[in-house]
Structure 1
Amino acid sequence: MRIVCIDGEAQYRDIVMRDVGEPLAAAGHQFDWFEESFADRDATIARAAGYDALYVVGDQGPVPAGLMDANPQLSLVSFVGTGARRFVAMDEASRNEVTVTNVPDFASQSVAEHALALMFAAARRIVEGDRLIREGRWEKNQGLKLAGRTLGVVGAGAIGARLIAMARGVGMDVVYWSRTPDADRDARLGARRVELAELFATSDVVSLHLTHTPETDGIITRELLTSMPDGAIFVNTARAELVDVDALAERIASGALFGAGIDVFVEEPPQPGGLPPVESNTILSAHVGFHTDEADDVFRIAGENILAFAAGAPVNVIV
């Protein structure tokens, strides 16, 4: 097979060439790496010509619409990460009989730790305190103790389950929501499943850990956000598209929330003019929840998906 990565980034080159390029070459495949933006649709479509598979890093935005239509020789898109539906048009892939694979669980512990870090940073006003000291102001603003407070976890998959365990370890009471009740899961997690309305209305901290699908798009509505207690904390390390972002921005701007931790944005990078003000105790990070040395296995696993597909036994298939 001939495989191309069009949206490569210099920071990933060495690890991808070692963990993906070398194994593919050893198996008799060709792997070409380019560091180009997907923003130029025509150039991207032309670059994909003649290749059998795309290896998509995803940091440069979605695969341009029409790329698979224009390159009928493509048979595989291997996405580096979990949220392939955000970056690859599934209807276009299905129409062209292109298999799309992802890496379903590569950084659960890393993302859960990042969510916990954002939670603590908001509760103890870490970023605000750092800014004040750098401005020469010695002000001791009041924080929140998390032990004894209620954490509501939206989504009890691998990431949510790890966060529940860590939050219980620091003394928080935990409730969670998932689409299906499961008494065995309640016992296993040591947490109680509640409906979304109860979770938002009763939790001191809410943390999102859902996959973004057509069914979960906008699931966190204005009504749910408005129902959060005054002085609560909101954390999102999942996907921005889960949330009514306008309602969240209003909730933050009003001062009703004690703080928020946001790792994901509808537009990445976001436009500076649309960001919460620094005094809002909102901690922002650049979609780095997964970004640890251990989680770099995501690149290798996406390469192994290509090898499995080439061998006629595809794994981690989305469509």
Structure 2
Amino acid sequence: MVYGLDFINHFEKYCPQWLAEEGDPVGLHIGCLKREIKRIMVTLDVRPEVVEEAIAKKIDLIIAKHPPIFRPIARLTPDTPQNKMYFDLIKHDIAVYAAHTNMDIIPDGLNDWFCEALEINVEDYLVKTHEVKWLKLIVYIPKEQANQMRQVLGNAGAGEQGNYYHTSYSMNGLGRFTPNDQATPAIGQINQAETVEEERIEVILPEPLSTIVLTAMKEAHPYEEPAYDLIKLENPPKTYGLGRIGRLKEPVLLETFVKKVRTTFALDGLRLIEPPIKKEYVQKIAICGGSGEKFYPAALQKGADVYL
């Protein structure tokens, strides 16, 4: 049995909402995730015909690229096709979740898939969008619960470093405390000094995940008042960006590359704008899915032969 909330929590470890551009309304738009889901539909846009198909196929959750509600709805009456679509989704208990610019920005996301399809070796993103600082969380916990806590922290997204995950560091020590009259201690007696064999667990995490990780830590910690430190690090920040730029294995004729684009994406046609000085062969390719025309200067600056 899979619950919608569990599925989305797992999905957001790969595609977090905090990577979306400012003002982009990603996340849950319609419905409830606190129920079992069996059938999921993925779509670019949520249109009336898409909803009709979802109803016919008994879909529980729609994952959409474009948010179905981008601006606030002034009136919710079923007298327009768009509003009727919302009514139908609610009536048939179909949840709708949007992953928009965060899907464009994430490593191994949409732009990387485009590059893979066109056999472009990615070298960098096109335009930087996020510079994420690192934090270090230090938690003190009885030794018996240390392994469980490491698992909880890792599942919440802490301890990811490059190609490694669930990384941590531990030290053994003694924790000392005296519960007062108002305390409800998990270990020890009121007004009696207590010494506990504890483990110090250290993990790093990106700053936007701090609330999620701290909440998970506190819920799993046996102590009424968990002892922990959250420290800002001076390590180089992790950067993310829109678009990708990379190279083909070898230079190819521009005409050949254009044909490859049409074939790969099954396009009936495409628009080619050439510079005054035409390039016969191309190798360095920049690409940005969606409304990427404003990043054309960045593609030029980075020496792209072609910008898709």
TM-score under structure 2 length normalisation: 0.22
Compare CA radii of gyration and give the structure with the larger one: 2
More helix by share: 1
TM-score under structure 1 length normalisation: 0.22
